A and B are shown apart, each in its own frame.
Chain A
């Protein structure tokens, strides 16, 4: 048992747990008791693998970015989650959870979404399985992300505006939790990141662990070694990073770098750099690190990237940070946008602004020249064209 994985009480060191009201207990307990058995079942594994292959398009390529490597004088590989169906790593998790929901006999699926990527990935698998789908999305985000709202509606999902609080991702999550409280029997909540009460952080990380599982095989084929020297990923809640780190956690010589969104700067008052600005706290059912006031009220984060402006991080990340296993760093809006443009010009790949944060950290690294670096390119930048256009004035 890895010391970086969840223990049987649902904790990662002091983080995790299931801080939920009694109304959610039966649903969460059902998941806690069944998720590992269901996931270990051969029929589940067979269907999961088949859908990841034939529907999502896995394995996603591990691509050696030659011109980027030349610029930074090292060996950079991109794990191309951007090439998945629906354009990001999010679908790995929603495929897994829809198969789980089916086996739990659930008829109705709910989800939260910020920018809409997880909402689209959830609506997609609900269409695939013919299940009712309700997606909660902050009222402000609905206005900012019209194309993703349209995608979800085309696939038959109902998009409900979260009008409470700050009307963004954290409030959409609150509304989804309230829906689950009010529909305790027939509904499964597909959480989109490695957050929420145990077993969600572990369950989502397991579904996303396909990223590092494939990376090891692909790297072995390409370089003769299955472990890189450095692995990098962006972190909002942290699901792509959790998947990218998963099979390297116990290989202590692999350096894990997680890049948070610094927004306008860590000390600007407009940031989402949780490990720098946050303190230990409880939100959405788990104990982790959280941006909050002295009185324990949650602070609304800011980032140009809608996928990274979450006020907390998953409990496993909090533990990797606190234990020192992972390096948690940050990149500002400006650094990320420049890094996104650089990748586009050097490699012909437009990254999601989330992924651009991971790329931005390359500027701050000192490479010896012979390292193998893997960066999780978690999503494609199609959804961000407006943002890129406004920023660069194209």
Chain B
């Protein structure tokens, strides 16, 4: 599976490593691939997740209590590529990466077969000025976010810097807000579509069911479900419920 501009209707699922159990990371990844998810974002937890709403905040807090750290996560992912073949991105905040060491982090990603990273609070300026060569030498795609407020110039710049895909936020919001595709967001999606960027587009934030997934994938190559899936992980027998969850979002009526 490749995330390219020829793809369409790709479904990506976000979940937090170490939640609900410290050792649930890999079993969830496997179950998601088996159920038909096209690629994954595995969150590594941080104590101060400012871009997240209550559901993902809670999963991060629990994961930290369970003992999740980047060290533990990379140990868990040692066998990732024996078990999971779809693309995997690590998503989290910059400070844990900085403490782990940016270079050590990129090397560890490469070693276990992680395709790229999404680090919302590592902005473009800092990435370019300080870290871009380290990511590139290790073949790690760093993914940038675009919001309805991002200017065209900046989107063009992000497109040039991007080697994986562009993460298009459905609205300027924290995670878990309900997507309400109105004229305004349609106009925004169409505007981006018309820019004919080099990078594939994946829409995230607020995608939580078949309807929102279909709407989003009219304008982008794929869409990401996070909060709605993390809510499922609170339930008993969550592994057994994953196939139904994926079918419920992806399959056309």
Contacts and interface: CB of A to CB of B under 8 A. Distances in A.
Interface of A: 9, 17-23, 25-26, 164-165, 170-171, 174, 177-178, 181-182, 184, 279-285, 290, 292, 294-298
A281 B98 contact: yes
Contact of A182 (B54, B96, B146, B177): B177
B6 interface: no
B123 A20 contact: yes
Contact of B51 (A18, A21, A290): A21
B134 interface: no
Contacts of A17: 125-126
Interface in B40-84: 46-54, 57, 61, 64, 69-71
B210 interface: no
Interface of B: 46-54, 57, 61, 64, 69-71, 93-100, 120-123, 125-126, 129, 144-147, 149-150, 154, 169, 172-174, 177
Given A174-B48, A297-B64, A23 B169 contact: yes
B51 A23 contact: yes
A198 to B, nearest CB: 10
B46 to A, nearest CB: 7
B50 A178 contact: yes
Contact of A165 (B47, B93, B120, B173): B47
A102 B96 CA distance: 37
Given A20-B123, A22-B120, A164-B57, A182 B172 contact: yes
A282 B98 contact: yes
B169 A165 contact: no
A23 B173 contact: yes
B108 to A, nearest CB: 14
Contacts of A184: 147, 149, 172
B174 A298 contact: no
B150 A296 contact: no
B95 A182 contact: no
Contact of A296 (B46, B173, B177): B46
A17 to B, nearest CB: 6
Nearest to B94: A282
Contacts of B169: 22-23
A264 B89 CA distance: 43
B149 A21 contact: no
A21 B121 contact: yes
Among B50, B121, B177, which residue has the most Cβ atoms of chain A within 10 A?
Answer: B50
A295 B69 contact: yes
A282 B173 contact: no
Contacts of A23: 51, 120, 145, 147, 149, 169, 172-174
